[in-house]
Chain A
Amino acid sequence: MADWICRTLRDGGLEGEHAPALTINDTISCPLGSFVFDHILSQLSSFICSQKSHSNGIVLVALSRSPLYYEQLLKGKGYDVVSSSFGLLYGPVGLEEQARGEWEHWESPPRSSVTVSLCKNVKDLDELLSSILELGKELSGDGRRRFVVAIDSVSEMLRHTSVSPVAALLSNLRVMVDPKSDKDIFIVCCVLITDEVSSLFWLLHSDLHETRATAALEYMSSMKATIKQMVQPVDGHKANSEEISLMEHYLRRGKLCVHVKRRNGRVRMMFEELHVEKSGIKFTSVSSEDEITAQSLVPKVQFNLQLSEKERNDRAKVVLPFEHQGFLPPGDGRTIQIYDGRKSLNDGKAETEPTSVQKLDSNKGEIIYFRDSDDEMPDSDEDPDDDLDI
């Protein structure tokens, strides 16, 4: 699933469509969202560096982790992202580290043409939008190049502003891709998608916000990746060390649930397990099929609605009363024969009622009736249905 997501983000949106947007959601019970974010970021960087995608660069809005971290991350993966494909926009976090003097080497990287820009006021999202667009334009070379935007944490943005401006920013970035645009800017860092943005993704810690805010951001996105806790097996009494190691084991594992809004309006749900190790993050497909049962919209039926072969044949043989009533073509001289249920028929009609309790062996149905007494008024010919005008 993670690979599928990366490929979708790499390919971007079709012309005339909104750009694909991914929300990475995690909670305190399974705080592995940043690992997934890093994984997607590095995957996209590799696609870009190896020229496998239409995008030309990534603009990263780093609001919760410093730019140094990202440089080290991508360098560690072996991607030479500093060659005009990486734009960085950093916020207050970066400033703190800068004040501490940790950024000295970052500020003047010898070979880099990494465009770094400082976002001075995180509350002003219009300014942020324009800086992202500018950065993206700088990244793009000549010709049709687009960029991916990644936002390191929308939760940081929501600390400073309310949901409406953030949602407006995201939707501005997602507007329909202009097919005639010559500039493609990739912004990968933050979530931003504009005319030239090919896709975007962002990280959100959903338990830090109200459900409305989370719902609004998920409304803005076309894919939602939620990281949930793995179900821990309940064990009996175990030694303390074993418990701790089990807990550690489970802290590094999680379940990735992806909801994708497809173009035809359906929702696809996919599941995967993730496992964070020293070397990185690994995704494995989920083993048990129980997880995949989607919420059923139609209740389960407990009874059998299908007919067996014999039942189907029997049903076909049943002559329904009044079946041929009144439907002969006008030129036909035959009179209509109405089966009114009283005359016995030659084929085993009585037998073919599947719900009938009296299943007789003989072909003819028999009704055995003993009169209570001879004093009763004879009503043998009185059929209560006689007064119906058939």
Chain B
Amino acid sequence: MQLFLFVFPFYCSSSEDIHQLKYMAANRPRGGSFSRNLSASSTGVSHIPGLKHGPNGTMFLSSGIPDLDKILGGGFALGSLVMVMEDPEAPHHMLLLRNFMSQGLVHHQPLIYASPAKDPKGFLGTLPNPMASKDDKSRVHETEQEKGLRIAWQYKKYFGEQNSEQRDGKSEYCSDFDLRKPLERHFFSGQHIDCVSLRYSADLATFRERCSSFLSQVPRNIGNITGGRIAIQSLCSPQCEYSNEEWEMLSFVRSLKSLLRLSNAVAIITFPPSLVSTTFSKRMQHLADTLVSVKAIPDEDKELAKLLTGYQDMVGLLSVHKVARINTQPLLAVELYASSGSCSVSSKTGPTFS
């Protein structure tokens, strides 16, 4: 019988570290000096394909983008709230949502999706399909990379370790998605998928009820754990009736967060910060456990093309402002190289970060 700590601090940490990310995080989670003894009692969880153990007794589910999982130290922690700050000039937040939702469907995790469109079900048709097999491709790429590098110290023996660790279980936890192909029908059948339109809701009360009933189905202290996913797109979109009532939206997000803490689900909310007041935007940012923002890049900008490699393939920039800290005070020691993170989406693969 596993005993989970139920008392979570109910405030938002005010210190934010802005990590401009460049490279992959180390695979080994480095938490505090105490780590949970993952012995025989927890082997049941490690066999669930969609979930993975994280430091400090948390569990992660995948965001659908392997590079983003590495940057965040494993994925999204169960019970956390992820906020994505949109750029009104680019639809990159849709990419994040699509991968998140597809990953949930691939792992048979229940999903609820809300958007300001009149018919949100149409969005499900744009979800990408996992790629067929990419193991050979990634292996070849890595050995080629090694030949070009001249290593001075003893790094080679560490590299060898990382490669083997990465490939085990990677295809199970997080899939690579092919954006050209829509998600196959068999992933939709028998799934608990709920689509909600927020266009005509005067306040968010009914949606709050639906979230509450959804989250009660994935509670925390029951042995059979699956993850649950909530995806809310463009919460403060101007065409919705409630968009003028900022306190309503804030109280909705806050109650959602409290419900999330008691469940095994992850919620992603995207909102456009330029369309709301700065105070509201700041409050929303503080409410988030993991805060990410996307930004468009100008087209045909020669200066950027000179400074950034792979500019031709890039579509936007993603910045991670805050990473979830659950059950711990110090920031998770995710190893990052400081630079700007760019997201490139090639026509074949899903988003990759460099």
Contact = CB atoms under 8 A, between A and B. Distances in A.
Interface stretch (A106-114, A132-140, A294-302, A370-378): A294-302
Interface centre among A220, A295, A297, A321, by most B CB within 10 Å? A297
B319 to A, nearest CB: 11
Interface string B115-133: 0111000100000000000
A15 interface: no
B7 interface: no
Contacts of A220: 238-239
Given A162-B244, A216-B275, A265 B122 contact: no
Contacts of A215: 88, 274-275
B301 interface: yes
A219 interface: yes
Interface string A72-110: 000000000000000000000000000000000000000
B331 interface: no
Contacts of A327: 156
Nearest to B116: A171
A32 B244 CA distance: 31
B333 interface: no
B195 interface: no
B293 interface: no
Interface stretch (A184-192, A225-233, A245-253, A256-264): A256-264
A168 B275 contact: no
Given A212-B276, A259-B89, A267 B297 contact: yes
A167 B154 contact: no
Interface in A326-368: 326-327
Given A297-B317, A297-B340, A219 B272 contact: yes
Contacts of A266: 90, 296-299, 315-316
A212 B299 contact: no
B300 A268 contact: yes
Contacts of A176: 122
B153 interface: yes
Interface string A293-336: 11111100100000000000000000011110111000000000
A298 B340 contact: yes
Nearest to B119: A175
B323 interface: no
A298 B304 contact: yes
B121 to A, nearest CB: 13
Contacts of B317: 297
Nearest to B88: A219
A268 B298 contact: yes
B135 interface: no
Nearest to A323: B152
Interface centre among B88, B91, B117, B277, by most A CB within 10 Å? B88
A218 interface: yes
A135 to B, nearest CB: 22
Interface in B136-181: 150-154, 156-157
B199 interface: yes
Interface centre among B239, B297, B308, by most A CB within 10 Å? B239
A293 B300 CA distance: 11
A99 B323 CA distance: 64
Contacts of A171: 116, 239
B170 to A, nearest CB: 27
B153 A322 contact: yes
A218 to B, nearest CB: 7
B122 A267 contact: no
A65 to B, nearest CB: 26
A271 to B, nearest CB: 13
Given A163-B238, A216-B275, A266-B298, A168 B199 contact: yes
A164 B308 contact: no
Interface string A254-282: 00000101101111110000000000000
A250 B153 CA distance: 66
B85 to A, nearest CB: 14
Given A320-B150, A321-B152, A322-B154, A265 B244 contact: no
Contacts of B157: 326
A194 to B, nearest CB: 12
A149 B239 CA distance: 19
A262 B150 contact: no
A243 B325 CA distance: 64
Contact of A298 (B89, B92, B308): B308
A297 B297 contact: yes
B315 A264 contact: yes
A164 B152 contact: no
B179 to A, nearest CB: 12
A172 B118 CA distance: 9
A34 B296 CA distance: 30
Contacts of A164: 238-241, 243-244
A323 B307 CA distance: 31
A219 B88 CA distance: 6
Contacts of B275: 212, 215-216, 219
A166 to B, nearest CB: 8
Nearest to A299: B307
A215 B243 CA distance: 14
Interface in B88-116: 88-92, 116
A321 B296 CA distance: 44
B17 interface: no
A267 B90 contact: yes
B348 to A, nearest CB: 14
Contacts of B303: 293-294, 296, 298
Nearest to B94: A265
A143 B297 CA distance: 41
Interface in B263-279: 272, 274-277
A325 B154 contact: yes
A294 B298 contact: yes
Contacts of B244: 162-164
Going nearest first, the 5 A-B pairs with the smallest beta carbon separation are A216-B238, A320-B152, A167-B238, A266-B299, A268-B299
Given A268-B300, A296-B304, 7 more contacts: A170-B239, A175-B118, A261-B296, A266-B299, A297-B304, A323-B151, A326-B154
Interface of A: 162-164, 167-168, 170-172, 175-176, 212, 215-216, 218-220, 259, 261-262, 264-269, 293-298, 301, 320-323, 325-327
22 contacts: A164-B240, A168-B199, A170-B239, A215-B274, A218-B88, A261-B89, A261-B90, A265-B91, A265-B296, A265-B316, A266-B296, A267-B89, A268-B298, A269-B298, A294-B301, A296-B303, A297-B295, A297-B340, A298-B304, A298-B307, A298-B340, A325-B154
